[in-house]
Structure 1
């Protein structure tokens, strides 16, 4: 954790409390903080700042001198449409995309998405993964996450409304690379929507449907990457 994020109800005037055991343990065991030390904190949905440890108990840490005066970093104008991946990969991807500042995340069904993934208990823990990503990226504003189990209706009816600029779909067999696409569209800036498949990528039917809605198929080099590597390689453009 690069900051401790707390819900609004944990604040009172210039005081606050840390009562989530994962955070209490982090302060004690990882930071090794003591009474009088200053912590970097933030209010979920609000501002970032600092606070001083007033007292410590096994299950709670009381803070004083709370100052929340730092605006969280601006989010890039990007929506990621991601074919629902394997549950273990999902956790890492939600954390990474949240830390990178993705504004909207759409988890969608695809031909290569196994039906069992939609019954995974990991989907009930998305808020937990988002919090982990926010604390990693030192942000307070959570991305909007939606689940879409029907590919064709989503692409035809909803996808166009999510585009505020151009859109791309990651495809290892695309004729144009992402860097070439960026150079030829330099006046328009980065795309506002990125579609990334799960392991095995999109099938031709899905690529065609996405392309029909204006998503340009692009590749990111001759190597075929795992989903999490592709996500981070593409979204890294927004950090440059």
Structure 2
């Protein structure tokens, strides 16, 4: 937790913040080993970042005197990430990683090689998704929450959602064996589509390319989804 992310409700006035969340209290004590008088980095969800002095810390609450939360968060990446729904444990890590890297728009997509049981996972509960996004924001000292959407049908997504998604964006499909290497240093908006473990099936690749996407690859090595996502984002931006 490189940033203590506060909700607007925890800001009592422009000079005082109070939090009672057990997870953050435990982190302050066990990881930060915080003491009254310490100055820590704080941010308010959807707002700015600043510093605050810890004035109270016990089992029930932590209080901070704020110096101001007027530093803007780091810029977002110009990407809409479309990720075939990973298995639950990998989903949790992937959400945290991409949030830390600055992705603000995420679509979780069903494809042929996605197990239907994955859609029943507790990790897709909005509360659980929110928890993973918060962890990513705290890691990267960011305050702007990503938007996560679910697309449970591949064909409806390609026919109805993808054309809208590609308006003003360059569509890139990351898949082994594509003819073009992943580009680097892009500044333009991108829609990045990444398949599941085992990749997209040929029919899915054809539909995505026909819709106007470009096929790209990361070389001959086959990477786990959570590794490929980070590698692609780092190379692209």
* Post-superposition offset of 1:189: 4.2
The change in CA–CA distance for 1:23 and 1:238 in structure 2 (over 3 A counts) is farther
Matched, 1:178 2:182: yes
- Greater than 6 Å deviation, 4+ residue runs: none
Equivalent residue, structure 1, for 2:170:
166
Distance (Å, rounded) in 2 between the aligned partners of 1:57 and 1:230 = 42
Provide the residue aligned with 1:206 in structure 2. 204
Distance 1:210 1:105 in 2: 17
Task: Report the equivalent of 1:120.
Answer: 121
Equivalent pairs, count:
233
- CA pair 56-189 structure 1, distance change in 2 beyond 3 A: closer
1:156 corresponds in structure 2 to 159
Deviation readout 1:149-170 (Å, 9 max, x if unpaired): 0111111111121222211101
Please tell me whether the aligned partners of residues 3 and 42 of structure 1 are also in contact (alpha carbons under 8 angstroms).
yes
Cα deviation code 1:194-231 (max 9, x no counterpart): 00011001000110111111111111101011101110
Distance, in Å, in 2 between the alignment partners of 1:230 and 1:121 is 24
Q: Is there any run of 5+ residues in structure 2 with no aligned partner, and where?
A: none
- Report the equivalent of 1:99: 100
| SS of residue paired to 2:107 | strand
Out of 151-160 and 103-112, give the one that drifted further: 151-160
Q: Distance in 2 between the 1:168 and 1:151 partners?
A: 16
The residue aligned with 2:5 is 5
What TM-score results when the alignment is normalised by the length of structure 2? 0.94
Contact 1:168-1:191 within 8 A present in 2 as well: no
In structure 1, stretches of 5+ residues that fail to align are: none
Q: Is the 8 A contact 1:113 1:198 kept in 2?
A: yes
RMSD: 1.4
Give the 3-state SS of the residue equivalent to 2:69 in structure 1.
strand
Q: Distance in 2 between matches of 1:27 and 1:58?
A: 11
User: Who is 2:228 aligned against?
Assistant: 230
